[in-house]
Amino acid sequence: GAKWTYTGPDGEHHWAKHYPFCGGAFQSPIDFQTPLLRYEPNLPPVEVRNYNLSLNEQLTLSNNGHSVQLSLPSRMFISSLPHRYSAAQLHLHWGSPSLLPGSEHTVNGKQFAAEMHIVHFNSDKYPNVSMAVDKSDGLAVLGVLVEVGEFNPAIDRFLKYINGIKYKDQRIQVPAFNIRDLLPAILDQYYRYDGSLTTPPCYPSVLWTVFRNPVTFSIQQFQALASAMYSSSVQESAPVPLNGNYRKPQLADNRVVLVSFQD
């Protein structure tokens, strides 16, 4: 498809020209403002299966020009939703090396340092993520907000290889690890709403689950993430730093955000 960026002439305000859904309804991310929230006591804790990958397995870590992406085996899945949603990949959104925040979802206007997304597809109904990506019940994404603080040993299991994928389309194999360690300790407190991909083609096909509790990265981990990569390929003469890869919050369009917690 047409190239798109986060700033400039191909930035988010221009996406709808080539990707019409980006100008449509049910877009993500959104700002979780208190008046939008509705406590839903029947929301069960999120349950994930087969996230504890064996260490002798390898995963593909890649720079897709928009984010750092870790491929995930489809035997990993979410078991607490009406259909089985199998894992496809995880990626992150972040701010700039000068520590400007870069999460996509915000809470009462507060933007967090970064945000991690684990993308799953409805494997009860579709054979792979590409077939699911434009279906209204196609995707379920787990969102984890990130704050700067304690060193995060789990994220380091792949972040330490990031200098091997500095340029667009570079990819390397990294040892697998327990992906559950990337999630917050408690999985029973989260925001839940119907939304979209936050990148073109912006299909309104995502059941969003954003955990209430952030995880932390150390300042060194954050700066490595925010300064190591380029959105340009190694052949291109002018390297374009890859940071600030977050979409701004979209209109809630009187959508209700269900929350599994009351305070």
Ligand X SMILES: NS(=O)(=O)c1c(F)c(F)c(S(=O)(=O)CCO)c(N[C@H]2CCCc3ccccc32)c1F
Which residues contact ligand X by CB under 6 A? 64, 66-67, 69, 88-89, 91, 117, 119, 129-130, 133, 141, 197-199
Q: Would you put residue 216 in left (φ > 0), alpha (ψ -120 to 50) or beta?
A: beta
- Looking at beta carbons only, is 203 or 222 nearer to ligand X? 203
Q: Which is nearer to ligand X, 91 or 157 (CB)?
A: 91
Q: Which does 216 bind (CB under 5 to 8 A by kind): ligand X, Zn ion, none?
A: none
Give the separation between CA 205 and CA 139, rounded to whole angstroms. 6
What is the number of the residue whose Cβ is closest to ligand X?
197
The DSSP secondary-structure symbol of 242 reads: -
Q: Give yes or no for residue 120 binding Zn ion (CB under 5 A).
A: no
Which one among 6, 30, 117, 159 touches Zn ion, defined by CB under 5 A?
Answer: 117
Q: What is the distance between the alpha carbons of residues 258 and 148, in angstroms, rounded to a whole number?
A: 27
Taking alpha carbons only, the member of 152, 158, 207, 156 closest to residue 184 is 152
In order of 183, 189, 215, the CA distances from 186 in angstroms are 8, 7, 11
Nearest alpha carbon to residue 208 among 195, 224, 223: 195
CB of 128 to ligand X, least distance (A): 8
Binding span for Zn ion by CB under 5 A among 42-50, 117-125, 185-193, 230-238: 117-125
Q: Would you call 66 a catalytic residue per the annotation?
A: yes
Report the interface residues with Zn ion, using CB under 5 A.
117
